[in-house]
Amino acid sequence: MTLQGMLLALAPRRLAPCVTLATALFSAPLLAAPAFPQGLSARAIWRPGDLNQLEAIGPRTSLVLRVRYPGEQDPISDPAAQSSAMDMIESIDRNSWSVTSSTVDITPTFEMPQPASFYSNSGNGTVLLRIRADAHKLARIAGFEPEDYDHDIIISRNIWNGAPGLGTINYRTVFVAGGGGWLWGHELGHALGWGHASGWTSENADPISPTGNYVEYGDQFDMMGNQGIPSIPRAFHHCQPRYKLRAGWLPSSSVIEVNAPGSFQLQDYSQAPSSVAPSALLVRRDADTDYWIFWRADEARCAEGPVIVRANRNPLDGSELIDLHPMSAPLPGGGAAGDLLDSAMAPGEAFWDQAAGIEIVHQGFHAGLLQLAVSVPGSQSLLDERPVIDVVAPARGRTLRGRAAYRATAFDPDVGRSDGAGIDKVRLELLRLDGHVEGPPVVDIVRDKAPYFFVIDTADPALGVIDGKYILRVTATADDGGVSANRFLNLIDNTGPSF
């Protein structure tokens, strides 16, 4: 069945030829001389970009694969799957202000060829890999080609002993243990490279006290936070502006970076961007940390003023909603994040980061717009820009087997935007993940000039590469000493389906 804002008839997607890169391109040995194999065009490799900039605009497609294990019941009914898909479509449409449109195909429920114990006991952190390989083959037999979709959502009983949803796999595949459009949308956010919307609470009068508490998922007003707490009984929440900016949903013209003291207006963040006023303010605290200020007027507990989110400039690190009223009693029903439910700034209140010389004052409203006064130090424009990292090979979402090439690009925007501009060295580490635990690197090399790459045979037992989820960790050091790091998720599977 296909869902696109409305329920359409059952129609499996027609199989299409799958274009893959020839393995001959990966013929160089590990730690080869610095010359990248010719012809590799997963992206325009000589035009480096930003790994965090993963646009999701225009038509987008998702395939929902339902699987059950022999002798077990279906993980989700047809009506529940359809309802969850419609909720997810609505969430994406509203979050993107209709910049993107979603089509969701839902497969029949496939019976897996092996019992649940075969997958759960597969060992070495390959549970998800084994489920995925068999589910994809069953889908292809039924006439669905997962590679034709931007994302696939595998619905299975939770046999992986983890969270009910897992989206940080390979930028393509998402696992969920049942229905819930908010959960599906949250996990797709991870597949777009977004971290959790968490919170920061303090036990003294200083909202950003270094002795405060980090609350995972604590921003309940954000789709990337915890939306399952009954204190906010809503199925929909907007994600924060830095993620919308990365996805291409929020134009850069709707975000003002404050480099000098002044008065500013904000429009309601839930409304589509317009020329009337910006949707968000960005205040750089230092070279690595930003404050995002925006007005969630559609959230009852945020209607009277803006929220302030502190975030690392690398969005994979998540964010922290600042509790601006740290001495207040937690609101009932909010669980561990109850302190964060009154995080919005009231008219006349001010936020002050004394160490950074930043002050934000809520001056009230005028003509339906929120009024703010922002003070920043005069050195804002002099803050160092950290190196920008991209990964151009392998392609996002591609499952690797046999010989594989990894390539990163890096540049210092203070110097230029060509690959290697202002860069002293780049370290490339390939590490295997067991859950969220990083193992020792199976590859660890440093390149002192572009191109920054390595080629390995993932099937060579001498290298110690086994099937599983991996991250390519790239650390770039600029000539001026600035350092940035980023991660790229990918899967290696030389075994494939079990049947």
Position 18 in a domain: no
In this prediction, residue 20 has a pLDDT band, given cuts at 50, 70 and 90, of very low
Average pLDDT, the chain: 86
Q: Tell whether the model's pLDDT for residue 266 goes beyond 70.
A: yes
Position 293 in a domain: yes
Determine how many CB atoms are found less than 10 A away from the CB of residue 41: 12
pLDDT of residue 333: 55
Question: Whole-angstrom distance between the N-terminal and C-terminal Cα of the chain?
Answer: 26
Q: What is the mean pLDDT of residues 289-295?
A: 96
pLDDT of residue 162: 79
Q: Tell whether the model's pLDDT for residue 8 goes beyond 80.
A: no
Q: Do residues 342 and 429 share a domain?
A: no
Tens digit of each residue's pLDDT (9 = 90 or more) over 73-117: 999 999 999 999 999 999 999 999 999 999 999 999 999 999 999
Backbone angles phi, psi at 302, to 5 degrees: -120, 5
- The full 3-state SS of 294-340, as one line of letters, equals ECCCCCHHHCCCCEEEEEECCHHHCEEEECCCCCCCCCCCCHHHHHH
Determine how many CB atoms are found less than 10 A away from the CB of residue 377: 12
In this prediction, residue 2 has a pLDDT band, given cuts at 50, 70 and 90, of low
Q: What is the mean pLDDT of residues 184-194?
A: 92
User: 12: exposed, middle or buried (C-beta count within 10 Å: 0-12, 13-18, 19+)?
Assistant: middle
Q: Do residues 184 and 201 share a domain?
A: no
Q: What is the mean pLDDT of residues 313-331?
A: 80
Q: What is the mean pLDDT of residues 131-151?
A: 97
Q: Do residues 256 and 165 share a domain?
A: no
The domain tally of the chain equals 3
Position 448 in a domain: yes
Tens digit of each residue's pLDDT (9 = 90 or more) over 455-464: 999 999 888 8
User: What domain range includes position 144?
Assistant: 55-191
The conformation of residue 275, written as its DSSP 8-state character, comes to S
Burial per residue of 321-359, b for 16 or more beta-carbon CB atoms within 10 angstroms, e otherwise: bbbbbbeeebeeebbbbbbbbbbbbeeeeebebeebebe
3-state SS, residue 94: helix
CATH number of the domain bearing residue 477: 2.60.40.1220
Q: Do residues 147 and 63 share a domain?
A: yes
